[in-house]
Amino acid sequence: MSEPKNQAISAILIKIAVIIGVVELVIMLVLVSFHLDINEYMMAVIDVVVLAVFSTPPIYYFAVKPFVDARDAALAKIHHLAHIDPLTKVANRRMVSEFFEKDMAFSIRHEELGALLLLDLDGFKAINDQHGHDAGDLVLVSVAERITAIVRAEDIVGRLGGDEFVVIIKKLGGEKVAATEKAIVIAEKIIEALAEPIEYGNNSLDIGASIGIRLLGFQNDCSDSAMKDADSALYKAKESGKGRAVIFEL
């Protein structure tokens, strides 16, 4: 057992012991002051019952609850760190995969189409090579912030690694043509937002983005095949001159 855990348990036990001791002292003083004419057995029963009634609430609020709250907060932090990209603070690959599965279940159940947008930055390597990794990190953080500002809170933005991002859009309706149009509009907004220069010191960094789109909501969809299809569309977007969005035709 680790030292911090031992210390936490010791602190809880000390609190419980102090609470029980204080409550017991008060009970004994009260019982003695009333000069009750009862036998020792009844005195012991009354003592135990009153001790249990009056010591339980403070033990819970001052010893047990703080420990449980601290444990839950620590577990929540661990879960957060396991699912968030440490640089950009958007979802990492693991969280994207989990969200994809939940979104697919929702889409099939409610007959709602969604979309997976696979995004690759244009010109990122040149910025990294010319201005260094600090500039590159700033670009990645700025890109994540700009994409997050465009999509809805119920959608998810993730970084798969390097300069590759993914966006999963929910609730695009049940009609394929309309869903396609909505996905393209969102992709074009992202491309437009990322075309704005990023200030780095006295430099203005120009970046762009190409996006491959794959509609979601079909019975045979899985994350691997959807990513592969979106990557194929992304390749076509780059081939056609970059700064474009191309949808994978199913």
As a whole number of angstroms, the distance between CA 95 and CA 230 comes to: 18
The number of domains in the chain is 2
- 122 and 67 belong to one structural domain: no
Q: What pTM was computed for the model?
A: 0.71
Domain containing 230 equals: 93-247
Nearest to 206 by CA among 143, 145, 161: 143
CB atoms within 10 A of CB 239: 11
- 201 and 101 belong to one structural domain: yes
Q: Count Cβ atoms within 10 A of the Cβ of residue 18 and give its class: 0-12 exposed, 13-18 middle, 19 or more buried.
A: middle
- 61 and 155 belong to one structural domain: no
57, 83, 109 - which closes a domain: 83
Domain-embedded: residue 222: yes
65, 83, 101 - which closes a domain: 83
Q: What's the pLDDT at 42?
A: 84
- 121 and 212 belong to one structural domain: yes
Q: What's the pLDDT at 187?
A: 96
Positions of the chain with pLDDT lower than 70, given as ranges: 1-4, 36, 80-81, 218-220, 250
Domain-embedded: residue 131: yes
83, 110, 139 - which closes a domain: 83
- 114 and 218 belong to one structural domain: yes
CA distances from 107 to 102, 111, 113, 193 (A): 9, 5, 6, 28
Pairing verdict, β 203-205 and 198-200: antiparallel
Angle ∠(36,42,47) on CA atoms, nearest 5: 85
- 234 and 161 belong to one structural domain: yes
In angstroms, how far is the first alpha carbon of the chain from the final one? 55
Q: What is the CATH number of the domain that holds 126?
A: 3.30.70.270
CA distances from 72 to 8, 67, 155, 234 (A): 14, 9, 26, 41
85: left (phi over 0), alpha (psi -120 to 50) or beta: beta
As a whole number of angstroms, the distance between CA 215 and CA 207 comes to: 26
- 116 and 218 belong to one structural domain: yes
Tokens 């936490």 sit at which residue? 8
Nearest to 105 by CA among 116, 114, 93: 114
- 59 and 124 belong to one structural domain: no
- 106 and 78 belong to one structural domain: no
- 10 and 48 belong to one structural domain: yes
Pairing verdict, β 164-169 and 198-200: unpaired
- 107 and 161 belong to one structural domain: yes
- 139 and 222 belong to one structural domain: yes
Tokens 């474009």 sit at which residue? 244
Q: What's the pLDDT at 7?
A: 79
Q: What's the pLDDT at 4?
A: 67
Domain-embedded: residue 88: no
Tokens 């960094």 sit at which residue? 205
Domain-embedded: residue 181: yes
As a whole number of angstroms, the distance between CA 247 and CA 250 comes to: 9
Beta bridge partners of 117: 167, 213
